[in-house]
């Protein structure tokens, strides 16, 4: 997909009908979709993806210093998926996330400083230091939480969608989950329940091809799209390294759910650059595979090549975003390191709203 | 005030809360019974008839039948609770927690803490418990100690129709996840229940029997069995017993228990849950820590054996402690006849 810019503006006339359900991976024409986005949204998309990448790359370094408690799971490589999807959502829409949740939180609008402080276990964190990387949640921004349990999110999304439907908020709820979680019963049950209740829900399987250290070549039987089809759920499979492909498919998916037609399924395929957790030597994947994914499946490089090739943005503008983001992450790390740790008096507060 | 069954009391409390608050929704398997089928659309009203008639009054947007899919619907209720609804779910048998435990203990119970106190989870999970109906090992357990063990959950075990209604309304209005357990043999129990709405606070025991000589702590259906033992002890042995029904295991009214133990110096804990790491063991250790020097005899725990609930009536009859066993236990605290207990 990296050479999609070759289509150029001349491809406009050859685009398919607006019913993108007929499109398959590789058919998404950049010019059709890229041109639809205002310049401001293109910058926003790039900035969100760059924020996630820089956040995660920096965390990998910070983990090596030994100052980050516990474990973090990094989302680098998959930025286009969270970004392309969440650009269609507002604060009234809810997402559930996974143990690899930083990207979803950033794309959904959770504050960078609070997230960084949370991951460092500080009192100024999003969850006041009580959740950590795997439990970052921000209900005000519709973020139902990263989740330490693989497959924990899809049932919660059914409930958030039920709230939207019952209270007629106009919102939808969307579950991000991995190819690993697609083998959990909770995910299968949620597909069924969402269809039975005709919920305004979207299920996004972010397929990075590996659950912890086990390849989905081994762990996942059958065909991913067929799993949605089996429940009668419409869906699309897109290249998760191509922001424009994700953004376009997500528009269809979210509009479908929002209009009351019931749930929709998206399959986005993109690599996980790091091992399962930061510090995992990742010996289960070959050096060739890891080199190739970083060279050929980098959503940021692909995005840059497309918008520069089409003359939609100039390199200086994108470089300025990179510099701005680097400053934001530097400041977030410095602030987190300087922030106070939660006081011991906080140990058993917030267990209940009220307890006799 | 009029006489109502345990089942009617629950139904009435639920309906009153649904009228009061449009965010209250009922979710569960066969809570109407008949969805999509050719006959009566409210055929069951719950497997034990507790939600019967709610469909007619409130419609399908307020009472949602589910597929047989406990993980999904309990999880959905948890997700709905943190986004603006106040779901009352029915887990038909508490034994089925085995297929949705993650959604209860890792999700609903922990949202508030993990999210730094920034969310509320107003979720009620109703479930039946208890042996004595010939339902065998997977439909008869008294698993409340498992929930009591988990910080973030509240656990309610009503023992009378009056308590059932007041505690259920309290549970629905509570902003934390509440496990509400109903003994399946008690649905037809009758008692005085006010027609209007009322609440009973959590963590406040009731004391249905007052006496100076010994204390029995009991939960749920065991309260009635303990009261029967207390009556016999008074009539036959001139032993005056205080019976304490904590009504909630989390929070637990420790003060009332400790005060009674200090006053009577003798205590038996009668519980239908398994003996190991159960409520009887929990309360026993609490008494040992806080009232040890007031004890005139050892703390006795009367529970079923460390064994699954059997099927055959001849075996099940011996499973839940009988009044005679509690009676013998209390009596032994006075004459040292502990060998008669087993």
**Cβ <8 Å between A192 and B119:** no
Average pLDDT over residues A80-99: 98
The share of chain A scoring above pLDDT 70, in percent, equals 90
Chain B contact for A174 (CB, 8 A cutoff): no
Q: Judge whether residue A29 has pLDDT over 50.
A: no
Rounded Cα distance between A50 and A71, Å, is: 22
CA-closest candidate to residue B115, choices B85, B80, B82, B153: B82
Q: What is the pLDDT of residue B1?
A: 74
Q: What is the pLDDT of residue A83?
A: 98
**Cβ <8 Å between A128 and B117:** yes
The predicted-structure confidence for B170-180, as pLDDT tens digits, reads as follows: 999 999 999 99
Which CATH number does A30-337 carry?
3.40.50.970
**Cβ <8 Å between A193 and B107:** no
Active site residues of B: 139
Average pLDDT over residues B133-155: 97
The answer to whether A175 and A186 are in contact (CB under 8 A) is no
| Residue in B71, B79, B117 closest to A349 by CB | B117
> Which domains can be identified in chain B, with CATH numbers?
2-193 (3.40.50.970), 206-337 (3.40.50.920)
Domain boundaries along the sequence of chain A:
30-337
| Residue in A130, A157, A356 closest to B251 by CB | A356
- According to DSSP, the residues that pair with B86 across neighbouring strands are B24
Quote the tokens at residue B72.
């999904």
Number of alpha carbons in the 13 Å side-chain half-sphere of residue B267 = 28
| Residue in A94, A155, A164 closest to B75 by CB | A155
Q: Judge whether residue B168 has pLDDT over 50.
A: yes
Bridge pairing between strands B241-245 and B206-209? antiparallel
Chain B contact for A197 (CB, 8 A cutoff): yes
Q: What is the pLDDT of residue A135?
A: 98
Q: What is the pLDDT of residue A27?
A: 36
Chains A and B form CB pairs within 8 A to the count of: 168
Q: Judge whether residue A28 has pLDDT over 50.
A: no
Rounded Cα distance between B140 and B158, Å, is: 17
Q: What is the pLDDT of residue A356?
A: 80
**Cβ <8 Å between B116 and A354:** no
The predicted-structure confidence for B32-84, as pLDDT tens digits, reads as follows: 999 999 999 999 999 999 999 999 999 999 999 999 999 999 999 999 999 99
Cis previous bond, B62, omega within 30: no
The predicted-structure confidence for A216-257, as pLDDT tens digits, reads as follows: 999 999 999 999 999 999 999 999 999 999 999 999 999 999
**What is the pLDDT of chain A when averaged over all its residues?**
91
Q: Judge whether residue B270 has pLDDT over 50.
A: yes
Q: Judge whether residue A11 has pLDDT over 80.
A: no
């Amino acid at each position: 997909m990296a050479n999609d810019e070759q289509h150029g503006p001349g491809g406009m006339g050859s685009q398919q009908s607006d019913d993108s359900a007929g499109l398959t991976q590789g058919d998404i024409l950049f010019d059709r979709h890229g041109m639809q986005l205002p310049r401001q949204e293109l910058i926003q998309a790039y900035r969100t993806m760059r924020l996630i990448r820089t956040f995660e790359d920096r965390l990998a370094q910070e983990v090596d210093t030994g100052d980050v408690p516990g474990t973090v799971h990094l989302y680098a490589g998959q930025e286009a998926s969270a970004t392309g999807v969440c650009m269609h959502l507002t604060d009234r829409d809810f997402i559930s996330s996974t143990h690899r949740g930083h990207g979803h939180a950033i794309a959904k609008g959770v504050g960078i400083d609070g997230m960084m402080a949370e991951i460092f276990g500080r009192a100024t964190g999003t969850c006041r230091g009580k959740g950590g990387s795997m439990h970052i949640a921000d209900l005000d921004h519709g973020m139902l939480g990263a989740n330490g349990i693989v497959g924990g999110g899809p049932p919660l999304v059914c409930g958030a969608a039920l709230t939207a439907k019952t209270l007629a908020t106009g919102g939808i709820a969307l579950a991000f989950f991995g190819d690993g979680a697609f083998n959990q019963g909770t995910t299968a049950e949620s597909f069924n329940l969402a269809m039975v209740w005709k919920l305004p829900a979207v299920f996004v399987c972010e397929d990075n091809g590996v659950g912890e250290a086990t390849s989905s070549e081994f762990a996942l039987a059958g065909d991913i799209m067929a799993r949605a089809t089996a429940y009668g759920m419409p869906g699309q499979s897109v290249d998760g390294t191509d922001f424009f492909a994700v953004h376009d498919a997500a528009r269809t998916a979210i509009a479908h759910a929002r209009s009351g037609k019931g749930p929709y399924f998206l399959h986005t395929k993109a690599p996980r650059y790091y091992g399962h957790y930061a510090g995992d030597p990742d010996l289960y994947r070959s050096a060739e595979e890891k080199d190739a994914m970083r060279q050929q499946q980098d959503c940021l490089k692909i995005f840059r090549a497309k918008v520069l090739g089409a003359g939609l943005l100039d390199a200086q503008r994108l470089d300025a975003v990179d510099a701005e983001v680097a400053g934001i992450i530097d400041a977030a790390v410095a602030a987190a390191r300087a922030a106070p740790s939660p006081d011991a008096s906080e140990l058993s507060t917030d267990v209940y709203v009220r307890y006799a | 005030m009029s006489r109502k069954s345990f089942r009617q009391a629950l139904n009435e409390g639920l309906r009153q809360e649904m009228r009061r608050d449009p965010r209250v929704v009922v979710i569960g398997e066969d809570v109407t019974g008949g969805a999509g089928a050719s006959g009566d659309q409210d055929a069951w009203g719950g497997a034990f008839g507790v939600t019967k008639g709610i469909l007619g009054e409130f419609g399908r947007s307020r009472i949602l039948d589910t597929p047989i899919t406990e993980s999904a619907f309990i999880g959905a209720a948890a997700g709905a609770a943190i986004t603006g609804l106040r779901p009352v779910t029915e887990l038909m048998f508490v034994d089925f927690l085995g297929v949705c435990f993650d959604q209860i203990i890792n999700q609903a119970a922990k949202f508030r803490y993990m999210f730094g106190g920034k969310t509320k989870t107003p979720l009620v999970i109703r479930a039946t418990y208890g042996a004595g109906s010939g339902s065998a090992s997977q439909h008869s357990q008294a698993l409340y100690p498992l929930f009591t063990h988990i910080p973030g959950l509240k656990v309610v075990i009503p023992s009378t129709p009056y308590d059932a209604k007041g505690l259920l309304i309290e549970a629905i209005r509570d902003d934390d996840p509440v496990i509400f357990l109903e003994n399946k043999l008690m649905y037809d129990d009758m008692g005085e229940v006010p027609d209007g709405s009322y609440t009973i606070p959590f963590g406040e025991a009731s004391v249905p029997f007052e006496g100076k000589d010994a204390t029995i702590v009991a939960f749920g259906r065991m309260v009635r069995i303990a009261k029967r033992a207390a009556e016999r002890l008074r009539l036959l042995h001139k032993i005056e017993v205080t019976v304490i029904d904590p009504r909630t295991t989390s929070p637990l009214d420790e003060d009332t228990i400790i005060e009674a133990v200090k006053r009577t110096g003798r205590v038996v804990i009668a519980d239908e849950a398994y003996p190991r790491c159960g409520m009887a063991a929990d309360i026993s250790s609490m008494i040992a820590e806080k009232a040890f020097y007031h004890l005139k005899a050892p703390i006795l725990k009367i529970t079923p054996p460390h064994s699954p609930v059997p099927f055959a009536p001849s075996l099940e009859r011996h499973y839940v402690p009988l009044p005679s066993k509690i009676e013998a236990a209390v009596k032994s605290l006075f004459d040292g006849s502990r060998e008669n207990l087993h």
